[in-house]
Structure 1
Amino acid sequence: MDWKKLLCEKRQCNQSNKNNKKNNNDMRNEFQKDYHRIIGSASFRRLQDKTQVFPLDKSDFVRTRLTHSLEVASFAKSLGQSSFLYIIDHIDSFKNKSGFRSEFEPSNEDINKICSILECAGLIHDIGNPPFGHFGEYSIRIWFKNNLENLKIGKNYVKDLLNEQMCNDFYNFEGNAQALRLLTKLHYLVDENGMHLTYALLNTIVKYPVSSCDFNTKSGDIKNKKMGYYYAENDLYDDISESTGAVGCRYPLTFLLEAADDIAYRTADIEDAVKKNYLTYDMILEELKKDAYLNMCKGEEKGCYLDAVKTLENKYEIAKSKKIANPDLYAVQNWIVSIQGFLISCAIYGFTSNYIDIMNGTFKSEILKVSHGNVLMKALGNITAEKVFESQHIQKLEISAGTIIDFLLDKFVNAAISYDTEIEQNALDRRLMNIISQNYMSAYRHHSREKTKEEKLYLRLLLVTDYICGMTDTYAKTLYQELHGIS
């Protein structure tokens, strides 16, 4: 891959941009312009009322998708700046390594663009996620796995009319793929081409450059872990990857975005759980000291891991010496800041030490997994998975969220199937279709032009998932109550 192509400033439907006179006083690069488009968008604002971990939570302390995305943007920008300054400062040593090519060498000007891209990518990486966090994604997948085969349009089964990729898109629904769709087709800015973001930025958020027919969780290659785009965006994704020169490969900056996301949520989940009394200092310390984690450590990683544990103990002792009212929260919050710095250093190491393989498209892992922070990241993830996500209270909230998603899909999918066909809709289905956002309805009408009946059917099913994914937690809950006749 080549940075001259990777930092592609192309946007969808560039003709519309040519109609705008260039402002010679505007000193922003193209990716800084992306930032302002994102910050001012309704889709970004809606993240303030979307679940990060705790569905339907009323606390103003715990993270939402918005505050999480702001943290990821901050970490991603820092990772980009530090990683590429290191590469430039040590470029001679990189040039002496096997596999290095001249087009791998970034410039100082490139660093400014890279930082802007990563900051923007952090802001929008979760913008396609449905309400109620990852359980919302799970609920959509399960609904289609349980119901798609039984859906009928006229005398035909819907599944028989869709091709394999269309069906797999719903069976394996992903917020990542939905983000690309929302940004390029659903968010109305000046036309039906979404926010008109740069291709370099769009490629950064496509974590998995494969379709729903090509992903393989057992391949051992991170790029194949999940699907990255829908059938509806096949041509668009091909254009993006060809324009950036990342065909068949993960875009290099995606590794840094992924690390920023992982650091942000693994550490924040611990802090939020302590604040909400799901975790205590003693519980965290006990888990971290388990032999299972120490036995996972390799070489110098053990010393780094033990240092992290010792730092937590020290923070708690400081809290007690200062007679802090809540020493658990004080210790954990201060410890989180400390290990975030450590994990950022680990991510920089993972990226720079594998830079040539990343640029050649042959690196198959996450960058934190090849660093001294690997076991600590696993420990943090396991603690929240076992002590928080499996708690009875969280599971009750998730059941409630799943009930809402199931109900909305039951109603709107059945209504959408017969919409825009020769089949006469009943009064209820007509009213349901009238509820759907006019922006999404307009997008459907635009993108379904000159499509086959089968493709239109597929797009109508996407219309429903588009609508649901665009909902905030509060809107989804309120709509559920309204359609049930609950005041």
Structure 2
Amino acid sequence: MKWEQLLSTKRSRESGSGRRTDGNTDLRSEFEKDYHRIIGSASFRRLQDKTQVFPLDKSDFIRTRLTHSMEVSSIARSLGQNIAENILLYKKDEGFKPHMKEDICNILQCAGLIHDIGNPPFGHYGEVAIREWFERNLSKIKFHGRPVDQLLNEQMLADLYHFEGNAQALRLVTKLHFLVDEHGMNLTYALLNTIVKYPVPSHQMDPHSEDIKKKKMGYYYADEEIFREIEKETETNGNRHPLTYILEAADDIAYKTADIEDAFIKKFISYHTLLEELKEVQGLTKSEQTETFSPADVLEELYLRGKEKNVAHPEAYAIKNWIICVQGFLIGQATYGFTSNYDQIMAGKYPYDLFYHTEAEKLMDMLGKLAYREVFTSDVIYRMEVAEEAVLDFLMDKFMHAIISYDDEPEKLESLDVRMVSFISSNYKSAYHLQAEGKSDIERLYLRLLLVTDYICGMTDSYAKQLYQELKAMDWPWSGIF
């Protein structure tokens, strides 16, 4: 792979002359234009009311998808700067020019902002709930007298059974953000390829593969054409875009450290619990490539400093400052992971994440296991997830029943179905009709099923809960009207 192609500024719909209507030259790069398109979009704003870990939390401190995405964006940009400087300094690649450093930083900054933009309400459990709904119901839903699971082809079925927020992100920004036309946000192909973490279709993924790019699907059957166009233009040829490794590392750094901080604030994890866990990996972060970094020692030193300063809560002082120190260490390790495996990454042959066999690997593993054990499998989170599944199951039931005959045999729609279909965003329905034009009955059925997941994924946590309550007559929508 070559950087000249990897940093392609091509878009599905090419821009005009690059000049403003007043005649002044627009001096922004194409990747800077991507940034402004993203932050001005409703889809990005909705992330402020989507779950990172704790749904519908009342605290201003706890992270949402929006604040998480901003943190990933910042870390990804820093990583891009470090790595680009290393490539230039050590002349790792003759094809890498100085101006490409700024391009890489801008692409990664944008990619961090949109990497989770396709996720449904209620965090990763929302994805699980949607997958399991399809597993339970596709054999029961009838279309022209036959079960849907007997009609869809292998890839269509796998798309639904392995429903994935990463694939939904590509779909959203290329097709569903319907403002000017059918090209969505019309972002650059370099950026679009960066957010495709898994460049394989759903029926070829392998969760048990040793190659990281095959563990999940990266795009739906419905979006294969645009993915192939992006892949051809950037010349990745079935491989991960090199910047995808950097984006993934930034995401890992952000959530594995932030989950610990949020869990401490919510009293799932104490200072002493974290300290004892860190002592288990003490001395494992020493290497010839970096200065000695002992995470438990750093945490203890920060706690003592907090006590010396007479801060009100030395444990909180220690953990919050420890997070900053650890993120700096992890950024250095991810930089080393990329630059030391540069040739393999550029050849499309590197099957691991950037922390593999670095001095940070065991620390990252420990942080993930601690959060899983103390937070994600706690009674509090389990109770929330049971409630979230009830909301999503109900909405899937109602909208899927309504959508089966829509645009196929509309005269068979029941009065309730007509009303349910009317709730779906007109932008999403317009995108559906454009995609369905000229397609077979089965392909249109598949696209209608995606229309429902498109709409539900676009919901915020609060809206999904509110709609559920209204449709269940738990909160009368006409209250106060008369």
Q: Same fold (TM over 0.5)?
A: yes
| 1:303 Cα offset (Å) | 10
* Partner residue of 1:439 out of 406, 427, 440: 427
Determine the structure 2 residue equivalent to 1:357: 344
Determine the structure 1 residue equivalent to 2:6: 6
Distance between the aligned counterparts of 1:404 and 1:443, measured in 2?
Answer: 26
Determine the structure 2 residue equivalent to 1:322: 309
Contact map agreement 1:50 1:131 (CA 8 A) in 2? yes
* Partner residue of 2:418 out of 411, 419, 430: 430
Contact map agreement 2:76 2:112 (CA 8 A) in 1? yes
Other structure's SS at 1:149 match: coil
> 1:309 corresponds to which letter in structure 2?
A
Over aligned residue pairs, what C-alpha RMSD do you find? Answer: 1.8
> 2:84 corresponds to which letter in structure 1?
F
Determine the structure 1 residue equivalent to 2:464: 476
Contact map agreement 2:9 2:188 (CA 8 A) in 1? yes
> 1:428 corresponds to which letter in structure 2?
L
Determine the structure 2 residue equivalent to 1:459: 447
Distance between the aligned counterparts of 1:21 and 1:386, measured in 2?
Answer: 54
- Count of residue pairs brought into register by the alignment: 472
Distance between the aligned counterparts of 1:401 and 1:244, measured in 2?
Answer: 39
Deviations along 1:26-62, whole A, 9 cap, x unmatched? 1111000000000100000000000001112111111
| 1:431 Cα offset (Å) | 0.6
Distance between the aligned counterparts of 1:415 and 1:247, measured in 2?
Answer: 40
Distance between the aligned counterparts of 1:272 and 1:418, measured in 2?
Answer: 45
Determine the structure 2 residue equivalent to 1:274: 264
* Partner residue of 1:391 out of 371, 378, 381: 378
Distance between the aligned counterparts of 1:406 and 1:304, measured in 2?
Answer: 51
Q: Does residue 1:366 correspond to 2:376, yes or no?
A: no
Q: Does residue 1:284 correspond to 2:271, yes or no?
A: no
| 1:346 Cα offset (Å) | 0.3
Unaligned runs of 5+ in 1: 96-101
Distance between the aligned counterparts of 2:138 and 2:375, measured in 1?
Answer: 32
Contact map agreement 1:409 1:464 (CA 8 A) in 2? yes
Determine the structure 2 residue equivalent to 1:124: 114
| 1:19 Cα offset (Å) | 7.7
> 2:472 corresponds to which letter in structure 1?
H
Determine the structure 1 residue equivalent to 2:390: 403
Determine the structure 2 residue equivalent to 1:412: 399
Q: Does residue 1:241 correspond to 2:196, yes or no?
A: no
Mapping 1:35-434, distance limit 5 Å: 35-91=35-91, 94=92, 102=94, 105-290=95-280, 293=281, 297=284, 300=287, 307-422=294-409, 424-434=412-422
Other structure's SS at 1:213 match: helix
TM-score, with normalisation over the residues of structure 2? 0.95
| 1:421 Cα offset (Å) | 1.2
Distance between the aligned counterparts of 1:173 and 1:10, measured in 2?
Answer: 28
| 1:113 Cα offset (Å) | 0.8
Distance between the aligned counterparts of 2:18 and 2:455, measured in 1?
Answer: 31
Distance between the aligned counterparts of 1:124 and 1:370, measured in 2?
Answer: 29
| 1:451 Cα offset (Å) | 0.5
Distance between the aligned counterparts of 1:217 and 1:408, measured in 2?
Answer: 28
Structure 1 consecutive aligned stretches of length 4 or more whose deviation exceeds 6 Å: 301-306
Deviations along 1:403-441, whole A, 9 cap, x unmatched? 111110011111111111126111011110011111111
Contact map agreement 2:402 2:418 (CA 8 A) in 1? yes
Contact map agreement 1:75 1:260 (CA 8 A) in 2? yes
Assess, with a 3 A threshold, how the Cα gap between structure 1 residues 306 and 199 changes in structure 2: closer, same or farther. closer
Distance between the aligned counterparts of 1:9 and 1:347, measured in 2?
Answer: 26
TM-score, with normalisation over the residues of structure 1? 0.94
> 2:344 corresponds to which letter in structure 1?
D
| 1:309 Cα offset (Å) | 1.3
Other structure's SS at 2:408 match: coil
Other structure's SS at 1:150 match: coil
More displaced stretch, 52-61 vs 259-268? 52-61
| 1:395 Cα offset (Å) | 1.1
Assess, with a 3 A threshold, how the Cα gap between structure 1 residues 130 and 335 changes in structure 2: closer, same or farther. same
Deviations along 1:144-163, whole A, 9 cap, x unmatched? 11111111123111111110
Distance between the aligned counterparts of 1:381 and 1:232, measured in 2?
Answer: 34
Structure having the larger proportion of residues in helix: 1
Distance between the aligned counterparts of 2:310 and 2:134, measured in 1?
Answer: 54
Deviations along 1:336-377, whole A, 9 cap, x unmatched? 000000000000000111111110101110011232111110
> 2:120 corresponds to which letter in structure 1?
P
Distance between the aligned counterparts of 2:6 and 2:337, measured in 1?
Answer: 20
| 1:302 Cα offset (Å) | 13
Contact map agreement 1:416 1:433 (CA 8 A) in 2? yes
Contact map agreement 2:18 2:26 (CA 8 A) in 1? no
> 1:456 corresponds to which letter in structure 2?
R
| 1:386 Cα offset (Å) | 0.3
Identity %: 54
Distance between the aligned counterparts of 1:69 and 1:207, measured in 2?
Answer: 16
Deviations along 1:260-296, whole A, 9 cap, x unmatched? 0000000011111111111110011122223xx469x
